[in-house]
């Protein structure tokens, strides 16, 4: 490729914040539930780069970008029937079998949502302010060659009230300094606030930590009708909590223990578990649940324990509760 930027290029990252920054210099975008991807297009050739610098193109053959000379920053997403991002379906697209990749490209096609333009023709735009790069991106995507292409322009707003709504109804909000240049690999000029939800869950067991005599994670469960169903785990424990919980959980142990099958997240290691009587309730903060997770028994994303709930009613810890109240 003869572009002014060549892969790999580290994407600019967002700094996690508790609250959205405000000011005339900020614009806001909805936080997508997808794969970060830089797209390098030189003539008919295209290279899709992951956040870590690895090639993604072979997994998404349907993402045929219009010919030209440009470098985009954006996210690859798969949307469900409701129009929302389906991260579970997206994750299934990463598969070694070419036949499966081809089939899923038809069954669950992906789209590329562009939110920045890093280079165009012979010019690198990294030193330009975001507002200038955004204007150039809008002009590029408005071209006839992009009509019908699997490329979308990320929406943006300067309205802080709209941005705060995304913290309730979407995965979160990204705030960007419109005066800032693009800083590859740095957490400057961008901030993110994730949507955080809360739920009461039953502690069905625990897993030992890496250090001796510590709890590594709590195994969480919810009632699905009369059945208690494991839905995820909580590993956001402080060092003191990990030690304290050993003695606290001991009276609730049933004597049952074993190992779970290795998963792609455990580097092939078996996960030891110790079962508990379903008598403890904890309040959990979490920011992501795969579609249908609580309906099918699929694990939810790891949460962070807020507190134990000694006076909580076990019967209220149900799969339906995740859609009620502040959840």
Contact predicate 188/14, CB 8 Å: no
Asked about 31 being catalytic, the answer comes back as yes
* Exposed/middle/buried for residue 87 (C-beta within 10 Å: 0-12, 13-18, 19+): buried
- Give the three-state DSSP class for 164: helix
3-state secondary structure 112-171: EEEEEEEEECCEECCCCCHHHHHHHHHHHHCCHHHCCCCEEECCCECCHHHHHHHHHHCC
- In angstroms, the CA 98 to CA 139 distance is 36
Structure tokens at 123: 């010019």
- In angstroms, the CA 274 to CA 228 distance is 16
> Exactly one of 10, 31, 176, 194 is catalytic; which is it?
31
Residues 6+ apart with CB under 8 A from 327: 197, 198, 199, 321
Contact predicate 307/236, CB 8 Å: no
Q: Rounded to a whole number, what is the distance in angstroms from the first to the last CA of the chain? A: 47
For residue 222, list its beta bridge partners: 229
- What DSSP state is assigned to residue 108? S
The set of catalytic residues is 31
């Amino acid at each position: 490729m003869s572009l002014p930027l060549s892969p790999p290029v580290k994407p600019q990252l967002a700094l996690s914040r508790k609250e959205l920054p405000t000011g005339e210099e900020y614009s806001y975008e909805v936080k997508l539930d997808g794969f970060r991807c830089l797209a390098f297009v030189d003539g008919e050739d295209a290279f899709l780069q992951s956040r870590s610098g690895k090639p993604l193109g072979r997994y998404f053959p349907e993402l045929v970008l219009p010919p030209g000379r440009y470098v985009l920053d954006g996210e690859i997403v798969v949307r469900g029937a409701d129009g929302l991002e389906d991260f579970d379906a997206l994750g299934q697209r990463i598969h070694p079998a070419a036949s499966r990749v081809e089939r899923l490209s038809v069954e669950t096609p992906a789209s590329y949502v562009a939110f920045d333009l890093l280079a165009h023709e012979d010019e690198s735009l990294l030193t330009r302010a975001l507002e200038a790069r955004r204007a150039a991106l809008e002009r590029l995507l408005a071209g006839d060659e992009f009509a019908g292409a699997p490329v979308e322009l990320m929406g943006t707003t300067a309205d802080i009230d709209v941005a705060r709504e995304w913290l309730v109804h979407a995965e979160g909000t990204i705030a960007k300094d419109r005066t800032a240049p693009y800083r590859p690999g740095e957490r400057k000029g961008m901030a993110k606030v994730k949507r955080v939800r809360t739920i009461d869950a039953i502690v069905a067991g625990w897993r030992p930590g890496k250090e001796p005599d510590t709890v590594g994670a709590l195994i969480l469960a919810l009632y699905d009708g009369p059945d208690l169903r494991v839905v995820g785990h909580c590993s956001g424990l402080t060092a003191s909590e990990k030690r304290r919980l050993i003695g606290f959980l001991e009276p609730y142990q049933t004597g049952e223990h074993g190992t779970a099958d290795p998963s792609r997240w455990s580097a092939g290691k078996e996960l030891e578990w110790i079962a508990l009587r379903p008598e403890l309730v904890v309040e959990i903060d979490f920011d992501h649940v795969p579609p249908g997770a609580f309906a099918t028994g699929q694990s939810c994303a790891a949460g962070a324990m807020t507190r134990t709930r000694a006076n909580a009613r076990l019967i209220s810890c149900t799969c339906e509760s995740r859609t009620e109240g502040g959840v």
